[in-house]
Amino acid sequence: MLQSGEGLRSLSGRRVAVVGAGPGGLATALLLAKAGLHVTLFERDEAVGGRTKTVEAPGGYRFDIGPTFFLYPQILADIFSSCGERLEDHVEMRRLDPMYHLLFEGEDGLSGEIRATSDEGRLQAEIARIAPDDARNLPAFFAENRTKLDRFKPVLEQAFDRFWSMVSPAMLTALPHLHPSRSVDGDLKRYFADPRVRLAFSFQTKYLGMSPFRCPSLFTILSFLEYEHGVYHPVGGCGAVSEAMAGLARRLGTDIRLGARVERVLFEGRRASGVVVDGETFNADAVVLNGDFAGTIRDLVPETHRPRWRDRKVETARLSCSTFMMYLGIEGAMPEGLGHHSILLAKDYQRNIAEITGGTLSIQPSLYVQHAGFTDGGMAPPGHTALYVLVPVPNLRSGIDWERERPAYRALVLERLKLLGLTDIESRIRYERVLDPRDWREEFAVHEGATFNLSHDLGQMLWFRPHNRFGPGLYLVGGGTHPGSGLPVIYEGARISARLLIEDLVGARAPALRELPDTSPLAT
């Protein structure tokens, strides 16, 4: 174990450049600043958060741009705790119950619904209304996934920058629970016969931009995390978390430079030695890149410094789907039954997913609606509502002509919203912003508009995913890096990358981050 004095001598005066103030970049900056490093965080936008930010639109409407809730906030709370702070002192997290409202489309309207809750007894009653036999299997499903999460948690916390990591003790312990031949849906069939019930525990694969019929069975733990640990809304929107992280990072000494565009990473030999920012050189002992991996790596890092991810491999990497977004400011109230989160699952969900992955624009899509005002009155002015509507669609590799299709698809989505009881909203729209896959690419530098980054199939997970330690002095964070997409997973990736960076600078195995010497301004 490193002694405090040794850690101080090793880290004092060292400079780190973090590129991108998304959730991964902010978390990494916090951990490195707390360890005593001089951290400069460069963000090309004029606000922190990346896609995890909340914007105010004309008329006083507020919208989350990307993520709309927090799952398993314990990891984020642990990061704040390692910095000597309590998350709840910075952001109010409201646990939602019900977590969301699932509506299943049938031949003529809806064929059933489930108001998902982490109260197991109530959830069994909800399921029993549409599938009594399946409801009896719920405790067994939870028990198995409780064990699965316990076995895989150490795997998701370790780095996979060496092939031998694939046979680590944690990996060998988890291996019997992997079942690589099973998909999420296939795994769920062992417990639930009704396809609607299986969807209640598998639609969460959309967080990875994947199909439950192809996504590895490991990811049944996504729905289990929701039911076991809850779904949370940060008051003020998810951007409130990004702002709180940035505020604490500044207090810890981090220099956050907004409107600063990083042009490329500099190298001395094989080692990253700094970045070029708006034509100026910034020297650093280490560089952390936080951004859409495929969308930025070729622009910032020369091909010679990424032998495992040359241009051809990046170009042919398997990608997630994209999303068609509508941010709507509406005058008047919403139907009484519309909760905070609502998910409409298409009548032929498997066909809908096949169309998305096959590059076809579905005419009967599933969709998700956030009515944040159900919980948080600050998201719209009095007497108005801010609605966030998301529809999974193919990424730009599909060749869909969005210039031609966009108006008709907007009309289709508004028509689909009627199944949620939103029958009269078009005439009440007072603000509207629409994003299609082109906008994700152009505005947010998302490669091919694939909003959930690289696909999470077995060939692009663990050692096969871009490594946290990408090269000497160069580290990655974000959804395209191990462990993968989703806010809690990205935060875990930030902890991995920060630990590796500190180990490399110290020249020995780093202590737990909470045990590092406290050299921050908050230490006084």
421 lies in a domain? Answer: yes
| Confidence check: pLDDT of 463 > 90 | yes
Q: What is the DSSP letter of 96?
A: P
- Closest among 471, 472, 496 to 483, alpha carbons compared: 496
Radius of gyration of the chain (CA): 23
Mean pLDDT across 268-277: 97
Q: What is the DSSP letter of 58?
A: T
| Confidence check: pLDDT of 451 > 60 | yes
Instruction: Examine the domain organization and report whether 458 and 445 are in the same domain.
Output: no
Residue 508 · residue 2 · CB < 8 Å:
yes
For 2-6, 93-97, 478-482, which range has the lowest pLDDT when averaged over its residues? 2-6
Place of tokens 């070729």: 298
| Confidence check: pLDDT of 6 > 80 | no
114 lies in a domain? Answer: no
Question: How open is the CA angle 11-16-22, to the nearest 5 degrees?
Answer: 130
Record the pTM: 0.93
Give the whole-angstrom CA distance, residue 211 versus residue 357.
Answer: 8
Going by C-beta distance under 8 Å and a sequence separation of 6 or more, which residues neighbour residue 281?
A: 266, 274, 275
Structure confidence by residue, pLDDT tens digits, 282-316 = 999 999 999 999 989 999 999 999 999 999 999 99
Instruction: Examine the domain organization and report whether 146 and 81 are in the same domain.
Output: no
Give the whole-angstrom CA distance, residue 432 versus residue 130.
Answer: 37
Q: Domain range for residue 161?
A: 119-229
| Confidence check: pLDDT of 5 > 50 | no
Q: Residue 524: its pLDDT value, please?
A: 33
Q: What is the DSSP letter of 122?
A: H
349 lies in a domain? Answer: yes
Here the tokens at position 107 are 């031949």
Instruction: Examine the domain organization and report whether 471 and 425 are in the same domain.
Output: no
| Confidence check: pLDDT of 510 > 50 | no
Instruction: Examine the domain organization and report whether 277 and 423 are in the same domain.
Output: no
pLDDT level of residue 511 (50, 70, 90 thresholds) = very low
For 181-185, 429-433, 437-441, which range has the lowest pLDDT when averaged over its residues? 181-185
430 lies in a domain? Answer: yes
Going by C-beta distance under 8 Å and a sequence separation of 6 or more, which residues neighbour residue 194?
A: 130, 131, 134
Q: What is the domain count for the chain? A: 3
pLDDT level of residue 10 (50, 70, 90 thresholds) = low
Instruction: Examine the domain organization and report whether 420 and 497 are in the same domain.
Output: no
Query: Of 196, 214, 229, which residue is a domain's last?
Result: 229
Q: Residue 507: its pLDDT value, please?
A: 81
Query: Of 169, 204, 229, which residue is a domain's last?
Result: 229
Instruction: Examine the domain organization and report whether 344 and 423 are in the same domain.
Output: yes
For 101-110, 377-386, 409-418, 505-514, which range has the lowest pLDDT when averaged over its residues? 505-514
99 lies in a domain? Answer: no
Give the whole-angstrom CA distance, residue 247 versus residue 250.
Answer: 5
Q: Residue 177: its pLDDT value, please?
A: 81
Give the whole-angstrom CA distance, residue 514 versus residue 204.
Answer: 32
Biggest distance spanned by C-alpha atoms of the chain: 71
Instruction: Examine the domain organization and report whether 81 and 141 are in the same domain.
Output: no
- Other beta carbons less than 10 A from residue 86's beta carbon: 10
Instruction: Examine the domain organization and report whether 309 and 348 are in the same domain.
Output: no
Place of tokens 């900056």: 29
Instruction: Examine the domain organization and report whether 444 and 458 are in the same domain.
Output: no
What does the mean pLDDT of the chain come to? 92
Strand order in the sheet with 429-435: 109-116, 100-106, 341-345, 367-371, 384-393, 322-331, 429-435
Long-range contacts, 406-409 (Cβ 8 Å, 24+): 406/434, 406/436, 409/324, 409/361, 409/436
63 lies in a domain? Answer: yes
Mean pLDDT across 246-275: 98
Structure confidence by residue, pLDDT tens digits, 331-351 = 999 998 899 999 999 999 999
Mean pLDDT across 169-177: 86
How many residues in the chain?
524
Angle between helices 138-156 and 220-229 (to 10 degrees): 100
| Confidence check: pLDDT of 517 > 80 | no
CATH number at residue 431: 3.30.519
Q: Do β-strands 429-435 and 322-331 pair in parallel, antiparallel, or remain unpaired? A: antiparallel
Residue 40 · residue 508 · CB < 8 Å:
no
Give the whole-angstrom CA distance, residue 483 versus residue 478.
Answer: 9
Mean pLDDT across 184-196: 96
Backbone angles phi, psi at 313, to 5 degrees: -70, -40
Which SS3 state, helix, strand or coil, does residue 65 take?
coil
Query: Of 397, 421, 449, which residue is a domain's last?
Result: 449
- Closest among 116, 71, 378, 361 to 226, alpha carbons compared: 71
For 140-149, 317-326, 514-523, which range has the lowest pLDDT when averaged over its residues? 514-523
Residue 236 · residue 378 · CB < 8 Å:
yes
Instruction: Examine the domain organization and report whether 303 and 289 are in the same domain.
Output: yes
Instruction: Examine the domain organization and report whether 176 and 258 are in the same domain.
Output: no
